[in-house]
Amino acid sequence: MSAALLEKAPAKINLNLRVLGRRADGYHELESLVAFADLTDTLTLQPGENSALDITGPFAAACGPSADNLVLKAVAALRQHIDGLTAGRFLLEKNIPVAAGLGGGSADAAAALRLLARTNDLGDDDRRLNKAALAVGADVPVCLASRARIMRGIGEILSPPLAMPPLPAVLVNPGAPLATRDVFAKYSGPQGRKTNIADLPRKPDAMIEFLGRCGNDLADAAIACVPQIAEVLERLRALPGVRLARMSGSGATCFALFASAGEAAAAARLVQAARGDWWVCPTTLGSAKGRP
């Protein structure tokens, strides 16, 4: 029996998000600077003939049926391009909240594709991996390498990897799952606004100042769906030492940036003490560890 293989699946954070317009097929054109947290799911593969998935961890119950999980959809998508693909039994430790704007499902699918690449001797640059990733979901391609990038289109247009300074942060979710489709159903504009996010500062202070001039066009629509997001943002913006607070992706998770990991950890303790019913996680944003 082959040895089990392991991959980390880092949470994805949209540091900003612009809606540039709606396409004829109903999807929205987006532009977003994406970073990754050191908060991860863990995916293990025991190579074998049959595909299966077991789920554990604090958010396992929220994942729904295993048959609908993006991990198995990633296997099916890659099989469309590779005859005789070897897969096996996956074990997913689910630590990232579900339907939270953190790309957890997409990160899991990307980790599955990396494991399948290792099992089937595929190179990291094999185009079939990217084709399968996009077939599974718009956020999966950027999660394949888990490196900071600018996403455009519906997620299929990626900039080269970006050199981003590590940003100490706190992630907070009020415990309300939020579907992306529901947020876009509430979204009413603005559209067509473009920002130049091609030249990024290399210093943390300058990066945070730069991000402060950006925004998240979906925040108002998400708050209309889950009013608690406004409360999260208000509490984050009142924390000692906070430099920036914003919602990630389509919500409901929000993040706050700090000058140091110590300040972020102290802020996380304050939020958790005040709202024990919220999910709170101190972390560092940038590119995933081991993926510079």
The tens place of each residue's pLDDT in the chain, 292 residues long, gives: 578 999 999 999 999 999 988 887 778 889 999 999 999 999 999 999 889 999 999 999 999 999 999 999 999 999 999 999 999 999 999 999 999 999 999 999 999 999 999 999 999 899 999 999 999 999 999 999 999 999 999 888 999 999 889 999 999 999 988 998 999 999 987 644 455 666 778 888 999 999 998 899 999 999 999 999 999 999 999 999 999 999 999 999 999 999 999 999 999 999 999 999 999 999 999 987 544 3
Residue of 41, 94, 108, 139 marked active site: 139
**pLDDT the model gives residue 290:** 44
Is 83 annotated as catalytic? no
Indicate the pairing of strand 149-153 with strand 87-93.
unpaired
Amino acid at 66: S
**pLDDT the model gives residue 235:** 98
Give me the long-range contacts of 237-246 (CB less than 8 A, separation at least 24): 239/170, 239/267, 239/270, 239/271, 240/266, 240/267, 240/270, 241/266, 241/267, 242/267, 243/208, 243/212, 244/208, 244/211, 244/212, 246/15, 246/16, 246/211, 246/215, 246/216, 246/219
pTM value? 0.93
Please give the Cα distance from 182 to 169 (Å, whole number): 27
**Do residues 11 and 182 lie in contact, with contact meaning Cβ atoms separated by under 8 Å?**
no
What residues form DSSP beta bridges with 169? 257, 283
Packing angle of the helix pair 228-237, 261-274 (nearest 10 deg): 130
Please give the Cα distance from 35 to 16 (Å, whole number): 10
**pLDDT the model gives residue 50:** 85
**pLDDT the model gives residue 1:** 59
Residue of 8, 12, 73, 94 marked active site: 12
Buried b (16+ CB within 10 A) or exposed e, 238-252: ebeebbbbbbbbbbb
**pLDDT the model gives residue 22:** 82
Q: Which runs of consecutive H residues, i.e. helices, occur in 80-195?
A: 104-119, 127-136, 140-145, 180-186
Question: What phi and psi values does residue 170 have, to the nearest 5 degrees?
Answer: -125, 130
Is 139 annotated as catalytic? yes
**pLDDT the model gives residue 196:** 61
Q: Give the three-state DSSP class for 176.
A: coil
**Do residues 81 and 128 lie in contact, with contact meaning Cβ atoms separated by under 8 Å?**
yes
